[in-house]
Amino acid sequence: MAADARPGRLAGRAALVTGASRGIGRAIALRYAEEGADLFLTATNEAKLEETRQLAAAHGGKVVTHLADVSGRAAVEAMVGEAVKKLGRIDVLVNNAGVYKAARLVDTTPEDFDRIMKVNLYGAFNVMQFVLRHMQARKSGKVVNIASTAGKWMSMNQSAYNASKHALVGLTRCAALEMGPFGVNVNAICPGFVETDMLEEFRAHGEILGMPFDKVKEAGLARVPLKRFLKPEEIAQLAIYLGSGESDGMTGQSILLDGGMLVV
């Protein structure tokens, strides 16, 4: 740890967080800043990313922002290079960038399927590949992929999203197997229903099913033993553990954080 590092569970660590402009990504960025990490934050929405930067910078430490679409391989290569240049290294990668669109399988357009896979799967692959090369050379690092309960089971009207998250869970396991000998931990968080902007996009489910949005939410909560939606900050708490030395013995896991929705 550097002599001037701030205190915290992530003190002295440098973290790259994608999709940091809102929701879970913003919550992770802010909690990482509170716990002493220096940050390189990326997203595609400049105004909202700047909001995150200002909130994170209030906790002290270095906070750098960078606009990038993770589905673009050349853009990701440049992004990772810039992160290493600005922070000196990448100790923790949080792969959070993602998109969602509800549609019945028979109505899903090839364009929508392609976009969801390019961001949620290929985007994660792009960022992981360039960051893991860096971590492998340093023989240390933590990767935290934000997957979903949709990567663990089936659900209506989101076959493209589910396919992307199932694939991300598999990618996490394979990466963990390959990177273990280099001292790099790779894990995934699989959140359930979380109170973010993406939850609002479930309105499309209601339109497909002919249900008002409040009934859609009631039906969702009926499957959750805790009978509430999760807060983004709760996902961030697990991301802190997975990004810290506390989780050095854990790799290849896809951890459910879903209010008990998938109790087995």
- What are the backbone dihedrals phi and psi of residue 216, each rounded to the nearest 5 degrees, phi first? -65, -45
DSSP string of 233-252, one letter each residue: HHHHHHHHHHHSGGGTT--S
Phi-psi region of 216 (alpha: psi -120 to 50; beta: other; left: phi over 0): alpha
Q: Which residues of 160-184 are buried (b: 16+ CB within 10 A; e: fewer)?
A: bbbbbbbbbbebbbebbeebeeeeb
What is the distance between the alpha carbons of residues 41 and 96, in angstroms, rounded to a whole number?
11
- What are the backbone dihedrals phi and psi of residue 10, each rounded to the nearest 5 degrees, phi first? -115, 20
What is the distance between the alpha carbons of residues 239 and 242, in angstroms, rounded to a whole number?
5
Identify any residues that bridge with 158 across adjacent strands, giving them in sequence order: 103
Measured from the Cβ of residue 7, the count of other Cβ atoms closer than 10 Å reads 9
- Contacts made by residues 71-75, CB under 8 angstroms, sequence distance 24+: 71/115, 71/118, 71/119, 71/122, 71/123, 71/126, 72/126, 73/126
Q: Which of 134, 157, 131, 168 is nearest to 209 (CA)?
A: 157
What is the distance between the alpha carbons of residues 28 and 232, in angstroms, rounded to a whole number?
8
Question: Which residue is catalytic, options 32, 100, 122, 161?
Answer: 161
**Is there a catalytic annotation at residue 241?**
no
Which amino acids are annotated catalytic?
Answer: 161
